[in-house]
Amino acid sequence: MSRITVDTARLPVLLNELRLPTFGRLWSGFAETADTESWPAARFLATLAEHELAERQQRRIARHAQAAHLPPGKTFDSFDFAAVPMVSKARFLALAEGDSWLEAGRNILLFGPPGTGKSHLAAALGYALVDNGFRVLFARTTDLVQRLQAARQDLALASAIEKLDKYHLLILDDLSYVQKSQSETSVLFELIAARYEQRSLLITANQPFGAWDSIFPDKAMTVAAIDRLVHHAVIMEMNVESYRRRTAIERTRTTTT
Ligand code: ADP
Ligand code: MG
């Protein structure tokens, strides 16, 4: 200990080596305050440590927000809950807290015709969960199925599915656009089976379960997939008129009258 020479001029280098960028940026300002206000050394150190930790968390959330591939602007703030009376805002704000349902690997299924806000609502929940420290991935189901199919061809399906484990919530948007073809859709089934009771899925679909025979290769697999998805699921039917169409009609009305 005594053989260490203290050279404050080396502080920027030391803090950089230690990967403490916030210390590096803030220490001199706080040092001045500490000197003029006679802070105890512990307070000075704790203040910097708190700032470093807070910024580290912010940086992590920013990284996760980037990696989530959420569609821009589709947040709760821009979502009009009044347009979908069967969907409770309070319910969604509770779901945005994450914890219990994500820990239990429960699912959310959003059904409804095109344009009713399923993708928007799914993304809004995704943004809120990322803000609350969870990891989310938003994917068009057809894209993800293609990626998994490529992984299967490289004999790497298991590890590709395992890599998705890091996401507390995987949003599979537009599941019903997936078209059956044995190799394609059994990867979807394997994904669903792997996450069952472990990691949550949020699925949006235009078609109710009755039409899912066109997604999975055979009836038995359709039944098995639905069974796993609904076992611990919140299911919401958004049977309203298309928001897109409705706002288009309102626009015409206001421009013609
Ligand atoms: P879906 O996924 O059900 O086909 P989208 O979520 O893509 O529908 O919604 C279609 C468009 O209408 C998007 O631009 C979306 O932001 C908007 N939209 C839909 N529902 C609402 C709503 N309740 N409040 C605000 N915007 C909405
Ligand atoms: Mg959609």
pLDDT-derived band at 255 (thresholds 50, 70, 90) equals low
**Residues near 175 by Cβ (< 8 Å), separated by ≥ 6?**
141, 203, 204, 205, 215
Ligand 1 atom with least separation from CA of 114: 4
- Which residue has better confidence, 227 or 183? 227
Which residue in 174, 169, 164 sits closest to 107, CA to CA? 169
Ligand 1 atom with least separation from CA of 121: 6
Q: Mean of the pLDDT values across residues 196-216? A: 91
Q: Mean of the pLDDT values across residues 2-9? A: 80
Question: pLDDT for 64-85, tens place per residue?
Answer: 999 999 999 999 999 999 999 9
> Which residues does a 6 A CB cutoff place in the pocket of ligand 1?
74, 78-80, 83-84, 112, 114-120, 204, 243-244
pLDDT at 253 over 80: no
Whether this model's pTM surpasses 0.85: yes
Question: pLDDT for 186-195, tens place per residue?
Answer: 899 999 999 9
**DSSP of 43-60, one letter per residue?**
HHHHHHHHHHHHHHHHHH
Q: Please give the Cα distance from 9 to 77 (Å, whole number).
A: 48
- From atom 10 of ligand 1, which residue's Cα is the shortest distance away? 115
Residue 227 Cα to chain centre, angstroms: 24
Centre of ligand 2 from the C-alpha of residue 3, in Å: 65
Q: In order of start, what are the domains of the chain with their CATH numbers?
A: 3-66 (no CATH), 69-246 (3.40.50.300)
pLDDT-derived band at 35 (thresholds 50, 70, 90) equals very high
Q: Please give the Cα distance from 172 to 201 (Å, whole number).
A: 7
**Residues near 45 by Cβ (< 8 Å), separated by ≥ 6?**
none
Centre of ligand 1 from the C-alpha of residue 115, in Å: 5
Q: Please give the Cα distance from 165 to 135 (Å, whole number).
A: 10
- From atom 25 of ligand 1, which residue's Cα is the shortest distance away? 79
Question: pLDDT for 72-120, tens place per residue?
Answer: 999 999 999 999 999 999 999 999 998 899 999 999 999 999 999 999 9
According to the model, what pLDDT value does residue 199 have?
96
Residue owning tokens 């235009």: 206
Ligand 1 atom with least separation from CA of 74: 16
For ligand 1, mutation pick of 109, 242, 243 (most atoms within 8 Å of CB): 243
Centre of ligand 2 from the C-alpha of residue 117, in Å: 7
According to the model, what pLDDT value does residue 226 have?
94
Neighbour count for residue 239 (Cβ, 10 Å): 12
- From atom 26 of ligand 1, which residue's Cα is the shortest distance away? 79
pLDDT-derived band at 161 (thresholds 50, 70, 90) equals very high
pLDDT at 133 over 80: yes
- Ion ligand 2 — residues with CB < 5 Å: 119
- Which residue has better confidence, 256 or 148? 148
Kindly report the average pLDDT of the chain as a whole number. Answer: 92
**In the chain, % of residues over pLDDT 70:** 97
According to the model, what pLDDT value does residue 256 have?
55
